[in-house]
Chain A
Amino acid sequence: MANVKFTSALKRFFPTLAETEIAGDTVKETLCNIEKTYPGILNYLIEDNGRLRKHVNIFLKGELIKDRETLNDAVNSRDELLIFQALSGG
């Protein structure tokens, strides 16, 4: 079970969003399990072709994930996963 934290910006669309323990062996599996708790959130994080949205960043154990295309980075128990929005202007 990874410990998942979210940017507060997502709370506007998912008001009950909170730091949580989520199962999953990869980033993709973890996100799919988050979707079960917060239906619809997956579409906010990944594009319809499966890649991470351009202006979304996910940090695993303090590092940006390497695989933004298929989200296949391995997640281990007690890892920390941070879901942030990237900085962008406008």
Chain B
Amino acid sequence: MQTKLLVGTSKGLVIFSNINDAWKIDSIEFVGLPVSLVYVDDRANTWWIALSHRHWGEKLHYSENEGRNWQEVVAPSYSNYSFKSDKPASLKKIWSMQHAGINRSGALWVGTEPGGLFYSDDNGKNFHLIESLWNHPSRLDSNQWFGAGKDSPFIHSIVLDPRDSNHVYVGVSCAGVFETVDGGKNWHAKNNGLVAAYLPNPKAEVGHDPHRILVCPTQPDTIWQQNHCGIFRTTNGGDVWENVSGKGGFPKYGFALVIDENDPNAAWVIPAQSDEQRIPVDLRLAVCKTTDGGENWSFTSQGLPQANTFDLVLRHSFVKTENTLAFGTNNGNLYLSDDNGNTWKTISQNLAMVNYLAFS
């Protein structure tokens, strides 16, 4: 049972502990600094956080004793890499991290902006850019990668096939889903069935905007994504994506997604009004749940504010472990459900913007 909740905010890392079913703040680390990533490597319970300093750039820190001590490592570097324009590339933000497999001790994937995927085989002491993806023809030759709300594309999701550590998917905003089956030597797009309504050709092979991608750990051919243009699911490893947005177009837009660890048909999303507004639908905070693969969606809002609410849930601010779900908002509110999302309670208010959550 996981009893810690790590909350990465724009003003520090807030660590909650669950003691006798009450979630209380244990400690606050990196006070005043923007935490842009939180990742728990459950192979050895190593906690990772990225900082996005306004002045000093992107930094990576880890803790091997649940936050009591932290060490900094040198962040991934684009030194000696450039864009097609020959303008030198530089690290803008660290968006995602994923361990590279149980059989690859100390190996990590890191997704970044402006679109580079990095690999470390020594627990983050050294990172190298995966050139095969950086030089993918869709980015290099066809100019089909572009920024979404940022100047440059970014890799926000790294999905590992638990059966095979050579099999990895990444989600890029904007470009779409890419897959490798040989540990990163070659990559190909897996966007068949997705819709990019903002492109001249909405069925383009590349140029999609997945907001969040998750794989069902026990049935890894089932992958879900909350996309800019709807909610999509594949049951064949990404060969074909099906639009499983709600009937009548709701839920459809949003950023946050969690899925069940065992049931490939169960998922939860937190819908937003539209990409033009990015507010809760009807200014009421609600979570949508499906248990039949997206055929039907139900709403759960008990315990959540139901009027005049402007809280948006960012893509990494919704997490699930067993029957416990938690999400934080851009207005610094933190909610938790311990009954599989049926009812909710407020854990904290008046935090800073919540960028990232992780259970440990």
Segment of B85-93, B168-176, B237-245 in the binding face: B85-93
- Knowing A55-B54, A86-B55 touch, does A47 contact B90 (C-beta < 8 A)? yes
* Chain A, interface SS category: loop
For B77, list chain A residues within 8 Å (CB): 48
A49 touches B57 (CB 8 A): no
Q: B312 CB to closest chain A CB, in angstroms?
A: 18
Our pick among B10, B57, B59 for the contact of A53 (Cβ within 8 Å) is: B57
Our pick among B55, B59, B89, B91 for the contact of A55 (Cβ within 8 Å) is: B55
Q: Bound state CA distance, A43 and B74, in angstroms?
A: 8
A53 touches B55 (CB 8 A): yes
Instruction: Give the interface size bracket for B toward A.
Output: 10 to 19
B75 contacts chain A at the CB level, 8 A cutoff: yes
Q: Bound state CA distance, A9 and B56, in angstroms?
A: 10
Our pick among A40, A48, A90 for the contact of B90 (Cβ within 8 Å) is: A48
Interface residues of A, count at CB 8 A: 19
Q: B65 CB to closest chain A CB, in angstroms?
A: 20
For A56, list chain B residues within 8 Å (CB): 55-56
For B56, list chain A residues within 8 Å (CB): 10, 13, 44-45, 53, 56, 85
Q: Bound state CA distance, A44 and B91, in angstroms?
A: 12
Mark interface residues in B220-235 (1 if CB within 8 Å of A CB, else 0). Answer: 0000000000000000
Q: Bound state CA distance, A48 and B54, in angstroms?
A: 15
For A45, list chain B residues within 8 Å (CB): 56
B90 touches A88 (CB 8 A): no
Our pick among B53, B74, B88 for the contact of A50 (Cβ within 8 Å) is: B88
B78 contacts chain A at the CB level, 8 A cutoff: yes
Residues of A within 8 A of B (CB): 9-10, 13, 40, 43-45, 47-51, 53, 55-56, 85-86, 88, 90
Residues of B within 8 A of A (CB): 10, 53-57, 59, 72, 74-75, 77-79, 88-91
Q: List 26 A–B pairs whose Cβ atoms lie within 8 Å, in order of A's numbering.
A: A9-B55, A10-B56, A13-B56, A40-B72, A43-B74, A44-B53, A44-B56, A47-B57, A47-B90, A48-B77, A48-B79, A48-B89, A48-B90, A48-B91, A49-B78, A49-B88, A49-B90, A50-B88, A51-B88, A53-B56, A56-B55, A56-B56, A85-B55, A85-B56, A86-B55, A88-B55
